[in-house]
Amino acid sequence: MKINAILFGITMMLLLALPAAASDYTLGVFGNANEDGTINMQDVTYTEQIILEYRDQTDLADAKYDGRINMQDVTQIELIILGRELELTIVDAADRIVAIKMPVERAYIYNDYYLEAIRILGARGKVAALSQYCFNQEGYFPGFSELPVIHNKDYEAILDLNPDLVTTGTWRTAETAEKLSGIPVVGLSLTAKKANPDWFPEGLVKLGYIFDREDAAKHYIDDFHDKCIDPIREWTDELSEEEMPKVYVEAFSKPYKVYSTDLVTTAGGRDVFADLSYGDVVDPEEVIMRDPDIIIKKMRGNVSGYWLDDPSGAKAVREEIMNRPELAEVTAVKNGRVYTVNGKLTYGPSYPVAIMYYAKLFHPEHFDEFDPRAVHQEFLTEFQEFDFNVYEHGVFVYPPLDES
């Protein structure tokens, strides 16, 4: 019995040491010589083997980013591991190579998804100013309101701030970098993307290296993000197409505007408009023809979120869809499987929570004992330090899970 217990313990340690399946990316930081998801002593060994010509060169082995791979790169990797590097060179999500003077102590933060990431990393003290997009979730960021707010196009004010780093959206990095010459401008994808679902975990870990908080980033990825998503993906990957309900997700801005992401597939559904992009508007006849089993309408902040307890707005949004005469014979409407979901949950670091809600809605029979609200609460309490009880307050899914 003692031997079996020891073997069981060893097996569990080995399993826990394996990389998580949900996050499979190459960390775009120069020094990541073996091109995996982290920088550690394996990269030191890998670079030494490149120098000795035992291995082929990799682009990221050039840790000093000077066009040569030599012992200076080995030293740079060791300094990155220790958090003592004077400069860090990364490839941002806009495919730009950016050199950042370290340590970063004064950062300009672009939006609320970056702010959620900052809270995960415990890097609040390194934020010098915020853009106007950082407070799209009223009351969600207590403790940040005293920081100056600078419009993201007020380049003169940003220059006067003298930041060590400016973060921005990937679509604005080139313009912002041109206007803020001399200041490192980084665009990272901190939302779940259809084109590349691993952009988010890589973006968060990359931000962790920038702020010398890589352990906090990896804690979130390993112990929350992948812990949430892996078991669901493991089960849903085995489903046949017939076992996956057809799902139509509609954006909040107007009827028949498609909101297509990989979240539906991960949660075990078939996105009926997977062939389209976010923002495409379709004819109602197309929805009727594709006949979804489930309809999800994304809710704006005026009818959902952390600061509302009254579900009447969410109810009205759902009823509008249920009462569209053209959808009367659509399976989702006939069976009452029309739901409204808070749109903010489906972006940024909280998107694993949205996947949990989706899985419960798509496969209630399998996830009968499953409580996505407990996961939502864990996200807020452990990774956002936000004092909020999701069982007592807020509107996130309607009809509520215990009624759906």
pLDDT in tens, 234-272: 999 999 999 999 999 999 888 999 988 889 999 999 999
Sequence-distant (≥ 6) Cβ neighbours of residue 111 within 8 angstroms: 131, 133, 134, 136, 169
Round to whole Å and give the CA distance between 174 and 340. Answer: 36
Claim to verify: residue 145 and residue 227 sit in the same structural domain: no
Domain boundary, last residue among 160, 177, 212:
212
Count of beta carbons in the 10 Å neighbourhood of residue 6: 10
Answer whether residue 331 is part of any domain: yes
Claim to verify: residue 169 and residue 270 sit in the same structural domain: no
Domain boundary, last residue among 163, 182, 212:
212
Answer whether residue 189 is part of any domain: yes
Claim to verify: residue 194 and residue 242 sit in the same structural domain: no
Domain holding 27: CATH number?
Answer: 1.10.1330.10
> For the chain, how big is the Rg over CA atoms in Å?
23
Answer whether residue 11 is part of any domain: no
Q: What residues form DSSP beta bridges with 49?
A: none
Q: Are 203 and 197 in contact (CB under 8 A)?
A: no
Find, among 328, 354, 356, the residue nearest to 342 by Cα: 354
Answer whether residue 140 is part of any domain: yes
Please write down the HEC assignment for all residues of the chain. Answer: CHHHHHHHHHHHHHHHHCCCCCCCCCCCECCCCCCCCCCCHHHHHHHHHHHCCCCCCCHHHCCCCCCCCCHHHHHHHHHHHHCCCCEEEEECCCCCEEEEECCCCCEEEEEHHHHHHHHHHCCHHHEEEEEEECCCCCCCCCCCCCCCECCCCCHHHHHHHCCCEEEECHHHHHHHHHHCCCCCEEECCCCCCCCCCCHHHHHHHHHHHHCCCHHHHHHHHHHHHHHHHHHHHHHHCCCCHHHCCEEEEECCCCCCEECCCCHHHHCCCEECCCCCCCCCECCHHHHHHHCCCEEEEEECCCCCECCCCCCHHHHHHHHHHHCCHHHCCCHHHHCCCEEEEEHHHHCHHHHHHHHHHHHHHHCCCCCCCCCHHHHHHHHHHHHCCCCCCCCCCCECEECCCCCC
Claim to verify: residue 233 and residue 312 sit in the same structural domain: yes
Domain boundary, last residue among 85, 113, 131:
85
> What proportion of the chain, given as a percentage, has pLDDT over 90?
80
Answer whether residue 126 is part of any domain: yes
Claim to verify: residue 231 and residue 355 sit in the same structural domain: yes
197 cis-preceded (ω within 30 degrees of 0): no
Claim to verify: residue 81 and residue 124 sit in the same structural domain: no
Round to whole Å and give the CA distance between 94 and 61. Answer: 21
Tell me: the pLDDT tens digits for 141-200? 988 988 999 999 999 999 999 999 999 988 889 999 999 999 999 999 888 765 456 778
Q: Output the CA torsion sign for 60, 61, 64, 65.
A: negative
Count of beta carbons in the 10 Å neighbourhood of residue 162: 9
Tell me: the pLDDT tens digits for 267-321? 999 999 999 887 899 999 999 999 999 999 999 888 999 989 999 999 999 999 9
- pLDDT on residue 21: 45
What b/e readout covers 385-401, taking b as 16+ CB neighbours within 10 angstroms? ebebebeeebbbbbbeb
Answer whether residue 230 is part of any domain: yes
- How far CA 244 is from CA of 63, 136, 294, 383, in Å, comes to 45, 34, 11, 32
Confidence of residue 9 (pLDDT cuts 50, 70, 90): very low
Claim to verify: residue 267 and residue 342 sit in the same structural domain: yes
Round to whole Å and give the CA distance between 252 and 345. Answer: 13
Claim to verify: residue 313 and residue 369 sit in the same structural domain: yes
Domain holding 321: CATH number?
Answer: 3.40.50.1980
Domain count, the chain: 3
Claim to verify: residue 260 and residue 325 sit in the same structural domain: yes
In which residue are the tokens 């409580």 written?
371
- How far CA 333 is from CA of 112, 239, 302, 328, 364, in Å, comes to 34, 24, 24, 6, 18
Confidence of residue 2 (pLDDT cuts 50, 70, 90): very low
Q: Are 404 and 397 in contact (CB under 8 A)?
A: yes
pTM of the complete model? 0.88
Answer whether residue 78 is part of any domain: yes
Residue 112 has pLDDT above 70, yes or no: yes
Instruction: Find the domain containing 346 and state its range.
Output: 221-398
- pLDDT on residue 404: 53
148 cis-preceded (ω within 30 degrees of 0): no
Span 102-128, mean pLDDT?
96
Claim to verify: residue 369 and residue 341 sit in the same structural domain: yes
Claim to verify: residue 208 and residue 285 sit in the same structural domain: no
Claim to verify: residue 57 and residue 104 sit in the same structural domain: no
Answer whether residue 5 is part of any domain: no
